[in-house]
Chains A and B, each alone.
Chain A
């Protein structure tokens, strides 16, 4: 396999973007990535997207997006793994460049969620229709079941989860792309309305429109396009059961554990080597599970990390300096790419107000469903 670098990135503002369509979001992010690398042609496109078919009634995104980007003719295809679609699109692009098949490949993610669809119903299709949705469970409900199992097993509390949301908003307030650029107090979080016990509204990521894109090429060509390439050290992916009831233990996201181990092994690194990370905090409990599954803290200690500042800016391992899905927003198919965009900026020293001093190795973890699919990428500034 060839070594692969990321040489360009772009993303839209995240939020309720009533003036932008699905294709507008893609085109803005893709042009941003191409412009930042100074290229006007590409060899291939991957589009991470969970559910354009249900959100806006549009399937067959490959040719649509290639056409609107003005590059009709290139191979282009959609990659779907629910909320991990973006991360899986990046993996697909990485494999295509690493294999030698193509040189310049666009890895993108896009989701248009605010166009009138029944969002709760659409998101629930990432879980088991026959065994879960049929009986009335919602997506927050599934993570609430994980949260209560985690509380039973490790003594995690509602306050522990709330500190994760407080941290997210403190970081997101500094991110110009974020949907909710405002600080939230512990009291704000703990008095917000109940969604699915024990999860409150401010433990949940919002409904978001957005797009993000990365341009990949062989490492040995990277300096044709940028002075500050970022190398992809590893890509680790895994699956677990779709239905939560079929998991060995609903308290642990075993799929994150497995995808992380694969990535660490491929990179020849350990959790201690990671300088900055973006993890999939679709709900506050997921971030706590990810701390443990990725080895940032011992199992059972995830509950203390945000409160003690371990994962804050300036902490031992800063996590979600972008504001995470909670504050930045969660356009499901775009999230995996947007996480990587944040890490790329950090490793290039372009993190602005939330730059982690001397960051050289970064990790992005993207989760699908209630923990049924996960993909982890590790990057290094070169």
Chain B
């Protein structure tokens, strides 16, 4: 750790210590130590299969870790599932868009946390369609996403529109941490620009973000810090202003490893 930065413990939103995930013999994630500060936007880069998505799945409770600690919002957490993580304030856009094709935009935005009435009816409580519609329109306006007809099912939308729905979903709920796993990988130039606009909106609002991306220009444009994963391990923690594209690529490909990570890497 460089002692130059002010590192107040209260300042930390998320910390992982020795976070590890094995799938049988596959060591997908090994001993990840990671810190995210309030309001900070951090990119995670690395080759396909480096363990980036695995890292996200452990934090968001989609999977249960093999080993290690996750400290979120000052507390050690063990999320039983994505809902628990979300209730704690972690919103995630997963790589394989978690959208239901046959449902419309408000349905997808509120999937799993519907606004309801008549709650005494338990699972048969009534959906507040109007409330969800109004909130959807407000959320899309806030994020600058425009979809002409939100009553249409997602399946008839373009990849960009679907992505925007997924991102609007995370951005429209007051979360303490947003995680996006390759949000623009399948998008065109203009759609990508739109997603980046949403990311900047989050930055201005002071909401912290973890962004997984292969897009060097995007990463350099958007984030404060870059973490590089290689073969399941963190190999670099780079301040955006102290690095450049070539440098990052050197870490991604394995040409370089930061000294403080070298020992672990050899273990």
Does chain A bind chain B? Answer: no
A residues contacting B by CB (< 8 A) are none
